[in-house]
Chain A
Amino acid sequence: MDHVQIAEQIDEAAVAAWLKSYIANVLGMEDAAIKGSDGLDSLGLDSALTTALAMDMEGWLGIEIPLAILFEAETLDKIAEGVTLETQRQQVTAG
C-alpha cells in the first residue's frame, strides 16, 4: 500500500515539479528554464518521449495515466491538473 500513501500527498505543485525535473533531466536542461506555461511540444518532446514520460510517471504515482491527458493538454500546468485529478479519481475508485 506504499504507493497510495505517496499518492495522498500528491498535489498539482508536486506533479508540476516532477514534470519539470523529469523533462530537464531527459533533455539536459536546467529545471528553472522550464515554465508551467510551456507545452510538451514546444519543449521538444515528441510522442516517443511523451510516452516514456507517461510510463515513468505511472511508476512514480502507481496509477495508470491515460495518454490523452498528456497528448491533449496544452501546457505543463494543465497536465499537472489533469494528472492530479486522475490520481484522486483512481484513489477514490481504489478505496
Chain B
Amino acid sequence: MLNRDDQIAHEMFQEIQSPDQPRQKVLDSPHLHKLQRMHFLLFDVLPIVGTVCAVALLFFHPVSVVDIALFAVMWILTGLGVSVGYHRLFTHRSFKTTPVVRALFGIFGSMAGQGGVISWTAMHRRHHELGDQDGDLHSPNLHGSGLVGKLKGFVHAHFTWMVAHPYPNVVHYAPDLLRDPVIIWVNRHYYTWIVLGLLAPTLIGALVTQTWMGAVTGFLWGGMVRMFVVEQGIFSLNSLCHLIGRRRFVTDDQSTNISWLAPFIFGESWHHNHHAFPGSASFGLAWYRIDPGYWVICMLSLLGQAWDVKVPTREQISRREIRAS
C-alpha cells in the first residue's frame, strides 16, 4: 500500500516539473516572514491571551451551559476539519468524498486558524518527505542532544517554528489541490472562514442568553479557548509525538504513538502509525484504539458520502512491525 502511495505522491510532485529545470522546493523571504509573524500573533498567541481571560473571568462569572456547548461544538467541528479534512483527506488523500463534504471540511479546517488548506497541505507533505531530517519544518530532534537540545527542540516544534519559516512551493507539493475548484475557493476565503468561526459563537452566545456578557463568553469559549485547545493538540503532534511515546514500525523519522492523547485530538496522536502508513484513513489501525477522526470517515462511508477509504490489511501491518530478535 505504501509503495503505491509513494508512487502517486511521486507522480503528483513530478507532474508539472520538467526534467531540465531545477526546482526550488522552499523559499525564505522577509516578505513572507512578515506575513507569518502577523499570522502567528493573531492566531497562535491571541488564543492564549483569550484563554487566560476566559479562565480569569471564571472567578467573577461562572461558565454557562451555553458556553460549554459552544466550546464543544466548535472544538469538534474545527478539530475534525483539521484531522479529517486538512490531514486525512486533503494532504494524504486517504478517502474520496463529494464536493460539498470537501468544502465543509475545508471551511471547518480553516476556522482552526492553522493556515490555508493549500499551505497546510504543502507543509505537511514536506514534513513527511523529510521527517526529522534537515528541511523538516517542525522537527524537535534537530536542536542538539541532551536535555537542553530536546527542550529547545520541543519549544521550536511545538510553537516557535511558526514565527518565521521557509515556505513550501505549493505547485510542487500540492498540484492536485490547485486543480480542485472547491479547494481553490475555500483557500481563497481563508480569513473569512476564521472570522465566521469567531463570529458564530459570539452571536449565538448573545442571542441565546440575550446579554452582552453572553457574546463575550461565547467569543471566549467558542472562539479563543477552542482555537487554543485544537492548536495545542495539533502542536503536540509536532513536538511530543516526535519526542516521547512508543514506536512499533520501522520508519525513517522519529515519530511516536501517544495513546492517552488520542481522545483529545481525534485520534491524531497515533502519529507513528500514521508515519508508517501515511495513506491510511485509520490512524489507530485497530478497532480498539480511540480514533474519532476515522470513526467519522466510517460514518460518512455508511451514509454513502465517502468511498475508496484506504486502510492497510492486517497482513500489511504485521509485515512492517519491528520484531524482537
Residues on A lying within 8 angstroms of B by beta carbon are 25-28, 44, 46-49, 51-56, 58-60, 67-68, 71
Q: CB distance B24 to A48 under 8 Å?
A: no
Give the total of B residues in contact with A, Cβ under 8 Å: 27
Q: In the complex, A67 Cα to B34 Cα: how many Å?
A: 12
Residues of B within 8 A of A28 (CB): 179
Interchain residue pairs with CB less than 8 A apart (23): A25-B16, A26-B16, A26-B171, A27-B178, A47-B32, A48-B116, A48-B119, A48-B122, A48-B170, A49-B171, A51-B29, A51-B32, A51-B169, A52-B169, A54-B27, A55-B26, A55-B169, A56-B23, A56-B24, A59-B24, A60-B21, A67-B31, A68-B31
Given contacts A48-B119, A48-B170, contact A59 B175 (CB under 8 A): no
Q: In the complex, A21 Cα to B184 Cα: how many Å?
A: 19
Among A26, A44, A47, A52, which residue has its beta carbon within 8 angstroms of that of B35? A47
Q: CB distance A52 to B172 under 8 Å?
A: yes
Q: In the complex, A47 Cα to B25 Cα: how many Å?
A: 15
CB distance from B307 to the nearest CB of A (A): 24
Q: CB distance B170 to A49 under 8 Å?
A: yes
Q: CB distance B184 to A56 under 8 Å?
A: no
Among B23, B24, B178, which residue has its beta carbon within 8 angstroms of that of A49? B178
The yes or no answer to B187 lying at the interface (CB within 8 A) is yes
Point out which of A27, A53, A55, A68 has the most chain B C-beta atoms below 10 A from its C-beta.
A55
Interface SS, A side:
helix
CB distance from B194 to the nearest CB of A (A): 15
Q: CB distance B22 to A51 under 8 Å?
A: no
Q: In the complex, A4 Cα to B107 Cα: how many Å?
A: 45
The yes or no answer to B229 lying at the interface (CB within 8 A) is no
Given contacts A25-B16, A56-B169, contact A67 B24 (CB under 8 A): no
Q: In the complex, A58 Cα to B188 Cα: how many Å?
A: 25
Query: B167-206 interface mask toward A, CB cutoff 8 Å, 1 = contact, 0 = none?
Result: 1011110010011000010011000000000000000000
Residues of A within 8 A of B188 (CB): 44, 46
CB distance from A68 to the nearest CB of B (A): 7
Q: CB distance B118 to A59 under 8 Å?
A: no
**CB-nearest residue of chain A to B184:** A44
Which B residues, 271 to 300, have Cβ-Cβ distances below 8 Å to chain A? none
Point out which of B22, B170, B175, B187 has the most chain A C-beta atoms below 10 A from its C-beta.
B170
Which are the 7 A-B pairs with shortest beta-carbon distances? A55-B24, A52-B171, A67-B31, A52-B169, A55-B169, A59-B22, A52-B170
Q: In the complex, A25 Cα to B187 Cα: how many Å?
A: 19
Q: In the complex, A46 Cα to B238 Cα: how many Å?
A: 27
Residues of B within 8 A of A58 (CB): 24
Q: In the complex, A67 Cα to B27 Cα: how many Å?
A: 10
Residues of B within 8 A of A59 (CB): 21-24
Query: B7-35 interface mask toward A, CB cutoff 8 Å, 1 = contact, 0 = none?
Result: 00000000010000111111101011001
**CB-nearest residue of chain B to A49:** B170
Q: In the complex, A28 Cα to B170 Cα: how many Å?
A: 15
Q: In the complex, A49 Cα to B293 Cα: how many Å?
A: 30
